[in-house]
Amino acid sequence: MGKRGNYSKGIYIVENNEKYFGKSNPKYRSSWESKFCYFLDHCNNVTKWAFESIIIPYVNEIDGKTHKYITDFCFEEVDKNGKVRKFIVEIKPEKQTKPPKPPKNQNKKAQKRFLYEAQTYIKNICKWRAVHSYCLKKGLEFRIVSLLVVNGNAQWDVVSLDQILNLK
CA dist 158 and 168 (Å) reads 14
Per 3-state DSSP, the chain is made up of helix, strand and coil in percentages (nearest 5) of 30, 35, 35
CA dist 99 and 121 (Å) reads 6
130 by DSSP, 3-state: which? Answer: helix
Q: What is the CATH number of the domain that holds 142?
A: 3.40.1350
Domain count of the chain? 1
What pLDDT digit, counting tens, does each position of 5-41 carry? 556 899 999 999 999 998 899 999 998 899 999 999 9
Q: CA separation (Å) from 167 to 13, 55, 116, 164? A: 38, 26, 25, 8
- Beta bridge mates, 157: 146
Q: Tell me the pTM.
A: 0.85
- Beta bridge mates, 67: 58
CA dist 113 and 103 (Å) reads 9
- Which burial class, exposed, middle or buried, applies to 9 when counting CB atoms under 10 A from its CB (0-12, 13-18, 19+)? middle
Nearest to residue 61, comparing CAs of 5, 143, 124, 111?
A: 124
What pLDDT digit, counting tens, does each position of 127-162 carry? 999 999 999 999 999 999 987 766 777 677 888 888
- Beta bridge mates, 105: none
Structural domain containing residue 65: 2-164
- Among the residue ranges 14-18, 53-57, 119-123, 160-164, the one predicted with the least confidence is 160-164
- Determine contact, residues 140/132, Cβ cutoff 8 Å: no
